[in-house]
Structure 1
Amino acid sequence: MVELTPALPRQSGRRVAVLSKKPLATYRYDRWLSHADAEVVLFAEDTPAARAFVKSAQHSYPTVPRLFAEWKRNRAVDEALCAEHDRRPFDRIVALSECDVVRAAELRAHLGVPGQSLESATAFRDKSVMKSLARRAGLRVPDHRPVESVSDLMDFADSHPGGVVVKPVDGSGAVDITVLHSRSEIETWMHTRALTSDDPTDYLVEEWVEAPMLSVDGLMRSGKVAAVMVGSYTTTCLRSLVDLEPHGILLLDPDDPRVAAARAYLTRLLRALPAAAETMSFHCELFDHPRYGPMLCEIACRTGGGNVNSMARASLGIDLEQASCLGQAGCAVPVARALPDPRRRYGDLVLPRSPRQLPDGLECDLPGVVRFTARHDDRALDRPQRAAKVSDYVADALLTADDHAGVRRVYDSVIAWLDEHLPPNSGKGS
């Protein structure tokens, strides 16, 4: 991972705990925090790649990183961090993965460590909370409500004949999102999820919004935008998963009216949510409603997936992950460029895993393709043959051109090129 965040003055020594579900070979917290004279104690997910990294001589962590299986559900992670804090207190706790946002906030509250509060973390993680706060601030959001019982869902669906969407309140990557258009579909969904008549659930139901999607990404601090770029999705993440077809984000031209509208909405949204004082990255998805303009889908205090960070490095000159790590560690993060380079547009493309396996050694050298990466797909025969979340992709590309229309042409050329190199069976519905 290229480090492009501006060089910082050396800070006084501090002790920083890092929670990481990220690949350790590319997320070099030890290097990122070296300027702070920080003692970095790493708690990370146990994977073959992580074990190989820890055994190598590549890293400069003062203590051996501690690895944990079943990362998301393993409370031994929290216990180990608390025990280490009791031995010698931590000054900060850093977490870059969305699944660790609330966990890190809970640990800060329990140990009295400064940083993002549990109230703030919850607002950026729980879709019901974030949308209620946005609506209270006068921002347009889809009509929604928590699914606290089967009758709640049925009543809400009856009042929204155009269809509803059911999703986990803390979901990400379009996982477990279902669009329901009829009572029979709702009843089938409830039966599949084994919902009882009166038990509360962890789902949110909202009205179906038929609109293109915008991606708004960058850095925030103290409830204000520090750096931002706005792009349009080529299709929704949910549609990409259902059809097992590529999707991407293409940055918009500076004078595109959607850019100003999205930035204005984001500014008001960050004021409405409990703010962390530290610099953190964000990924916001807005419906671009043809009648009402921007409407909140969701916002998260983490870097967007796919090639969002690569686009930020190219367009803003900022590594969002490195900047967020430094900010959460209590370091000042100066921003040299708050808006994208007006001379170039960037975009990305990701191809979900499907029965259409890529040929070995596939390379793409089309004009406008900065980088194309095909991942070796050595899945077992008993593994599902389709992506379950948007981060499960077998190829991705970083694209560039002079303007948005040009990036769109590059994107379309890569789609046509992929169709030539992939087997004809799309695997839709498999």
Structure 2
Amino acid sequence: MADSRPRLLLLGLDRYALDACVRLGVDAVVVCGAATRDDGLMSVPPELRLLRVDDQSSAESVLLALHRAGLAAGGFDAVHTADEYSMVTAGLLARQLGVPGIDPDVAARFRDKSVQKAAVREAGLPTARCLVIDDVLDLDGVGELPFAPAVLKPVAGAATALTSSVRDRAELSARSAEYRRTKPAQRTFVLEEHISGEEWFVDGVVFDGELLFLAVGAYGDPCLASLESGTPLWLRHFDPDAESWVYDRARGVVADALAALGLSSGSFHMELFHDPESGTLTFGECAARRGGGLIHEQIQAKFGVHIGECAVQAVLGRRPVIEPKVRPEVFGGTYLPGRPGILLDCPDPAELTALPQVEFARIEHPVGTHFAAGPANTSQRVGQFMVVAETVEQLTARFDEVRQWFDERLTVLPDDLTTSGRREFQRSWRPDADFRDTLWQS
């Protein structure tokens, strides 16, 4: 009797998609790039097959590996990814293999922020005006800013990397000069009109064009504001019962935006700007995958819904059965910032979750990691933790307490020490050891 287990080509390591494949009995071939393997934070379960490639976001790299492994003839039931940078690749491979997966044109609308905003604007939804800069290193032809202040970002970036505010042409020129020095891999940027207000985020599941589930939350401060101020990003979810007005306001906008972008099945992460005075929601941007940080964990804790499993079921053509079990408490997650220098030691996740109200923790960087001064993007942190509280005020107070507790136990070798300064640091770090240079006595 032939094996009836579905077979999935999965690009990248997503811990919850991997978990879903194992629990659902899906035979997945997991494509893993060199950078992800070298990071070592996640591993492929033994029940699934690992396919090593140089770059999991390169269609060429993946297709060549499939040929080497004898897998290019097909036999897959779908192609899936939760990796932002592999989204278009997943669509192209699904089309090549003749199986379900995100349509490449839909993937392009979700990846390119200028194309995305044009589609949403054409559907009649408010969103920021934008101007594409083909090469941020060469501003010839770019005159005065058509709107100010503006936000400069890669046209197909993620995690607020290389994102900054610019107030005029002079600041744009200064940023261009900075990038000529640092030589970023991405050079096509978009200049967006700055939208003020509360930054909301929405994660959910859509199947055959029907919005099955959504979880709405808010960032403590907008992502760019947290980046520029150097304060740890934090976020929490709204309660669908006690704060039902949020869901009533967001649901229609979310459905219309997804329809405009063409996502009929899968998971998504959308960001909206809410004007508290007018109640207006302005579309920010949207990804065709779940949100990062601890959003997945918060949704599991708050709503009892496994977004990763829903996404795998959807791409395989199975309608997810979603029965939320909502807990009334406030759930939120935040970052554990490091300090400039080399990480030598820090509390582990078990120590963090032993603290009151801390339901989950993840340490993402090992000993020896170097942290530069100032965050490069919203992903730069030692780790993350999730707190459950009775009120938002209690939540934020607990964030501060746990961060302080963590910082007091964080050991970092600072960058700016002289050799003698490092010797002094060594004496304070290991007070029982004696590294003094002494005379030999016969």
TM-score for both structures, normalised by structure 1: 0.80
Task: State the partner residue of 1:230.
Answer: 216
Aligned to 2:270: 284
Counterpart of 1:87 in 2: which secondary structure?
Answer: coil
Residue 275 of structure 1 is matched in structure 2 by: 263
Give the match for residue 440 of structure 2.
none
Amino acid at match of 2:110: F
3-state SS in 2 of match to 1:330: coil
Question: AA paired with 1:285?
Answer: E
Contact 2:263 2:288 in 1 (8 A): no
Say what the alpha-carbon RMSD is for the aligned residues: 3.4
Percent of aligned pairs with the same amino acid:
24
Q: 1:95 aligns with which of 81, 95, 98?
A: 81
Preserved CA contact (<8 Å) 2:239 2:328: no
- Partner amino acid for 1:370? E
CA distance in 2, matches of 1:274, 1:134: 10
SS in 2 for 1:173: coil
In structure 1, what residue type is equivalent to 2:77?
D
CA distance in 1, matches of 2:187, 2:281: 29
Cα distance change on mapping 1:107 and 1:391 into 2, 3 Å: same
Q: Distance in 2 between matches of 1:52 and 1:180?
A: 37
Secondary structure of the residue aligned to 2:313 is helix
Query: Could you say which structure has the larger radius of gyration?
Result: 2
Aligned equivalents of 1:421, 1:15: Cα separation in 2: 46
Q: Corresponding residue for 1:3? A: none
Is 2:294 aligned against 1:307? yes
Q: Which has the higher contact order (CA 8 A, sep 6+)?
A: 1
Distance of aligned partners of 1:230 and 1:185 in 2 relative to their CA distance in 1, 3 Å threshold: same
* 8 Å CA contact retained: 1:251, 1:404: no
In the alignment, the residues of structure 1 paired with residue 384 and residue 414 of structure 2 have an alpha-carbon distance, to the nearest angstrom, of 17
The structural deviation recorded for 1:344 is: 2.3
CA contact (8 A) 1:82 1:111 kept: no
1:8 corresponds to which residue?
A: none
CA contact (8 A) 1:94 1:329 kept: no
2:430 counterpart residue number: none
Q: Which residue of 2 aligns with 1:242?
A: 228
Residue number in structure 2 paired with 1:336: 323
TM-score (ref. length: structure 2): 0.78
The verdict on how the C-alpha distance between 1:167 and 1:407 changes in structure 2, with shifts beyond 3 A counting, is same
Decide which of 206, 214, 232 is 2:192's aligned counterpart: 206
Q: Contact (CA 8 Å) 1:283, 1:300: kept in 2 or not?
A: yes
Give the C-alpha shift of residue 310 in structure 1.
Answer: 0.5
User: What is the deviation of 1:313?
Assistant: 0.7
Which of these residues, 14, 18, 25, is aligned with residue 27 of structure 1?
Answer: 18
Describe how 1:173-212 pairs up with structure 2 within 5 A.
173-194=159-180, 202-212=188-198
Counterpart of 1:369, as a letter, is: V
2-side partners of 1:181 and 1:52: how far apart? 41
Match of 2:340 in 1: 355
2:105 is aligned with what amino acid? E
Q: What residue is the counterpart of 2:330 in the other structure?
A: 345
Aligned equivalent of 1:414: 402
1:81 pairs with 2:81: no
**2:232–2:334 contact (8 Å) kept in structure 1:** yes
User: How far apart, CA to CA, are the structure 2 residues paired with 1:188 and 1:146?
Assistant: 18
Query: What secondary structure sits across from 1:27 in the alignment?
Result: helix
> Match for 1:44: what amino acid?
C
Output the amino acid matched with 2:367: D
1:18 to 10, 14, 19: 10
Q: 1:262 to 1:413 in 2, by over 3 A?
A: farther
The AA in structure 1 aligned to 2:263 is A
How far is the alpha carbon of 1:48 from its aligned partner? Answer: 4.8
> What is the Cα deviation at residue 174 of structure 1?
0.4
Q: Which amino acid aligns with 2:256?
A: R
Change (3 A) 1:230 1:375: same
Q: Which amino acid aligns with 2:323?
A: A
State the AA in 2 paired with 1:43.
Answer: V
CA-CA distance at 1:247 after TM superposition: 1.4
Query: Contact between 2:52 and 2:65, CA under 8 Å: does it hold in 1?
Result: no
Deviation at 1:151, TM superposition (A): 5.5
- Report if the CA contact (8 A) 1:241-1:352 is conserved: no
Equivalent residue number for residue 380 of structure 2 = 392
Shift of 1:79: 2.3
Name the counterpart of 1:368: 357
Report what 1:154 is aligned to.
Answer: 143
Rate the CA distance shift 1:87–1:288 in 2: closer, same or farther, 3 A. Answer: same
5 Å matches for 1:157-168?
157=145, 159-160=146-147, 162-168=148-154
Change beyond 3 A, Cα 1:176–1:105:
same
Match of 1:134 in 2: 120
What secondary structure sits across from 1:393 in the alignment? Answer: coil
Q: Tell me if structure 2 keeps the 8 A contact 1:95–1:104.
A: yes
SS in 2 for 1:324: helix
The residue that corresponds to 2:105 in the other structure is: 119
When residues 212 and 52 of structure 1 are mapped into structure 2, their CA distance, relative to the original with a 3 A threshold, is: closer
